[in-house]
Structure 1
């Protein structure tokens, strides 16, 4: 969890949120590559379609079709790619833990260990709390509770009933939720290419749902189950 969050934030700091999110959501591709190489999964046209819809949908939502927003320093790209690798690792290696512990226990200990480890790099006791306003505390609490604890808890919990591939692909709903929040809360305009991104994400959800339904209705085609990682 520490590596996922730290590399993502570092990519935003050195570049921008659009590039950081797009690179992080290369994780489904990394997961599928792993499953092909280690678990001998067969790559299907539906897999390729799902990856395409996820990446294109995120791109349109985050950039509104403007390639100029993808012009960032190389270090931002490095951090973003590391974030994608970390998310793929986090998704795959949470599965063996879920066989022994509750998802909330996993997330809780991940936050404690991650926070303790990072304290040696950025000691919290060196922060000048006098300069922090009430608004800063509220934003910090929101990031901790909703952006980290609840978000990662739901993500890990979904691995109980979805495959790593499906979970990581459905994670592309995150930028959609972020954009919709800016529209309804900050009154930002919602433009044409962002609508195209919404259509791509909705199509992705329908594709995954249809694929799961067709697998359950076809006894000869078993649905992909959560797997043990070695």
Structure 2
């Protein structure tokens, strides 16, 4: 049952990105508007889950100045950054490409800790880095050195999404040692949404709002955030973090399949090969014993919810 739950969470996250592409391309919804209200609404629901769970520590996070400072930093530099760069990358390319590019993020995490701990990467980490580079190259060039198959802006924001994911993964490590994942994620998303609310213009309802728009938006909030987050946490207790994390590496693949089947996104053989290489990269890093011991990699899977 735990295997099914972890896989289902990964698929639901992947479909969430495709729903966002549908809102951007078919309904004219602004990425900025979607990011704001996704964080506010989903953050509120996750925070309620954190507040009313057994042995809740959601209120305790505000008792010490250090914790308050760290959750505010995580909300802005972590949560807002990773949400906006990912959704904006989707609006410039497609859900499949944006999701695959974001999944290069764990490679940046490994690189950061290699520098911080002053150690050379292990052989399998070198292999993962090579696969990530080759996969990204195939995805954005289709193997040609002459031109990109996506815009330079899409590539820039896609890679920035990967870097943001690395920051989002590394920054809250200490918080996750003192507080539960629902508490950190719930407060991070809610506070980030409220901050974004003050600097954006979310009151203007952009795009065409019909039944399809409402359903896609509801999916992103409920089935693309709250429910997969909950069932993934439950799967950790059944099959363990490493196995659940490995199964969740199918998220880019699910995003690609749904984007092709539903929205008619053109995905060539080179795109599939690039996606496969990135998925293998995440799998290698997950299976690496030394990498799994890194608290930030554990944080990545505890916090994963886009």
User: Deviation of residue 35 (structure 1)?
Assistant: 0.4
- For the 8 Å contact 1:53–1:204, the answer to whether it is kept is yes
Structure 2 counterpart of 1:36, from 89, 114, 125 = 114
Question: 3-state SS of the aligned residue for 1:124?
Answer: coil
- For the 8 Å contact 2:114–2:120, the answer to whether it is kept is yes
Q: For 1:93 and 1:23, how far apart are their aligned partners in 2?
A: 20
Q: Structure with the greater relative contact order (CA < 8 A, sep ≥ 6): 1 or 2? A: 2
Q: For 1:188 and 1:126, how far apart are their aligned partners in 2?
A: 29
- For the 8 Å contact 1:11–1:80, the answer to whether it is kept is yes
Question: Structure 1's 123 and 191: CA in aligned 2 closer, same or farther, altered over 3 A?
Answer: closer
> 1:130-169 residue pairs with structure 2 within 5 A?
131-150=208-227, 154=232, 161=241
User: Deviation of residue 149 (structure 1)?
Assistant: 4.0
RMSD over aligned Cα atoms: 4.0
Question: Structure 1's 134 and 198: CA in aligned 2 closer, same or farther, altered over 3 A?
Answer: same
Q: Does 1:116 align with 2:214?
A: no
Structure 2 counterpart of 1:88, from 153, 158, 166 = 166
Q: For 1:89 and 1:203, how far apart are their aligned partners in 2?
A: 22
Which structure 2 segments of 5+ residues have no match? 1-78, 298-306
Structure 1 counterpart of 2:179, from 101, 122, 128 = 101
Q: For 2:126 and 2:173, how far apart are their aligned partners in 1?
A: 24
Question: Structure 1's 205 and 113: CA in aligned 2 closer, same or farther, altered over 3 A?
Answer: closer
Q: For 1:199 and 1:22, how far apart are their aligned partners in 2?
A: 9
Q: Deviations over 1:7-35 (max 9, x none)?
A: 1222333x313654454333223212210
Q: For 1:113 and 1:12, how far apart are their aligned partners in 2?
A: 23
- For the 8 Å contact 1:56–1:200, the answer to whether it is kept is yes
> 1:39-54 residue pairs with structure 2 within 5 A?
39-54=117-132
Q: For 2:82 and 2:97, how far apart are their aligned partners in 1?
A: 15
TM-score by length of 1: 0.67
Moved more, 109-118 or 178-187: 178-187
Structure 2 counterpart of 1:126, from 204, 214, 222 = 204
Question: Structure 1's 63 and 172: CA in aligned 2 closer, same or farther, altered over 3 A?
Answer: farther
Q: For 1:10 and 1:119, how far apart are their aligned partners in 2?
A: 17
Which structure 1 segments of 5+ residues have no match? 213-221
- Name the one with the larger helix percent: 2
Question: 3-state SS of the aligned residue for 1:91?
Answer: helix
Q: For 1:185 and 1:30, how far apart are their aligned partners in 2?
A: 32
Structure 1 counterpart of 2:250, from 162, 169, 173 = 173
Q: Does 1:79 align with 2:157?
A: yes
User: Deviation of residue 86 (structure 1)?
Assistant: 1.2
